[in-house]
Amino acid sequence: MVLKTLDQLEVGGKRVLVRVDFNVPLDDGAVGDDTRIRAALPTIEKLLERDAAVILCSHLGRPKGERVPALSLEPVAEHLSSLLGREVAFAPDCVGPTARDAAGELAPGDVLLLENLRFHGAEEQNDPEFAQQLAELADCYVNDAFGAAHRAHASTEGVAHLLPSAAGLLMASEVAALSSVRDDAASPLVVIIGGAKVSDKIGVIESFIGRAASILIGGGMANTFLLAQDQEVGRSLAEPELREQALDLLERAAQAGTEVLLPVDVVTSTDLDAPDDATTVSADGVQPDHAIFDIGSETVRTYGEAIRSAATIIWNGPMGVFECEPFDRGTLGIATAVAESPGYSLAGGGDSVAAINAANLADKIDHVSTGGGASLEFLEGKTLPGIAALEGGE
């Protein structure tokens, strides 16, 4: 895979449309977590150093083609201004006369943030006319939104074919790190997969059968594997319709020499809103009126042993309902084990990254990916439209 890089794009004195991932949480009209904004700063600053006028575009949330004031990017423009130490202008639309006028007034060194792309349904439809309207705002295009690279949208795929295009610094670093792990991971490789549903991650589990020494499964998806082995999971989230598929995955992994580890103990409660009822029980001792909300301490210890012996670690997805105490302990325990392991570590997915940040361990993880679904699909070997559009450049 050969991406055209920022260094290969002539940007001096030009307007550069940059697709960023500013899909950040907003709390009372202010940015709650600016991790994704900070991740885009190196590309923005490099373009400004090279005398470009920078036009930023992003989505925020899922407005489904409607103008939703609570999902406006205007607070992000204000926050970005403070991070850059310069004014960031804001356009109340991303296409049309308002956007064209705002882009036309830019001088080299200026920064403009366009309103939420997804206020237009044409964005997610990869509508050619919408892509053309975006392209008309600039002279060239940079995609730095790895987290949205698995979507064939107008701003991630369509516009790349209409302007001289390149990958931003974040995009390039993500592709390099993930390619290295996917294609040339040092052994033993340990893969940690969590999250709610097996159906979301069957592909990535399959892709590592025969390549990984161990696959450690947690979160709601582990319940489906336990259920498939005729264990009681009570009122836990599970996908009974995937029992046979779960058993097939376990059988194929065993035949290929990949060990699949499932929780040996779990934390249960009568309800997520009843933390005082939280009890750690063996994985085969779940009461019918309880639900599983986390992995137990013995599972954390067992998984930790595998993690600390790995040469390469890939982690995507939480081990439990990480947002609620005391059901965050399993995920935090895994985060600590990954940070302490001498192996190369790569973590992705919003909850995994949140756990790493909550435990102040980000500087001990070799690569923290900004993409959840994008990183999973890349590791599966799928073609990501936003990346494919940049291969070789225009």
b/e code 293-307 from CB counts within 10 Å (16+ = b): bbbbeebbebbbebb
Which DSSP letter does residue 309 get?
A: T
Known catalytic residues are 36, 197, 350, 373
Can you give the pLDDT at residue 373? 84
Of residues 3, 381, 370, the one with CA closest to residue 176: 3
In the chain, where the domains are located: 6-170, 177-380
The answer as to CATH 3.40.50.1260 being correct for domain 6-170 is: yes
DSSP assignment of 81-119: HHHHTS-EEEES-SSHHHHHHHHHT--TT-EEEE--GGG
Can you give the pLDDT at residue 198? 87
Q: pLDDT digit of tens for each residue in the chain (394 aa)?
A: 678 999 999 999 999 999 999 999 888 889 988 888 999 999 999 999 999 999 999 999 999 999 999 999 999 999 999 999 999 999 999 999 999 999 999 999 999 999 999 999 999 999 999 999 999 999 999 999 999 999 999 999 999 999 999 999 999 999 999 999 998 899 999 999 998 888 888 888 999 999 999 999 999 999 999 999 999 999 999 999 999 999 999 999 999 999 999 999 999 999 999 888 899 999 999 999 999 999 999 999 999 999 999 999 999 999 999 889 999 999 999 999 999 999 999 998 777 888 888 888 989 999 999 888 899 899 888 999 999 999 864 4
Task: Say what the pTM is.
Answer: 0.88
177-380 topology per CATH: Rossmann fold (3.40.50)
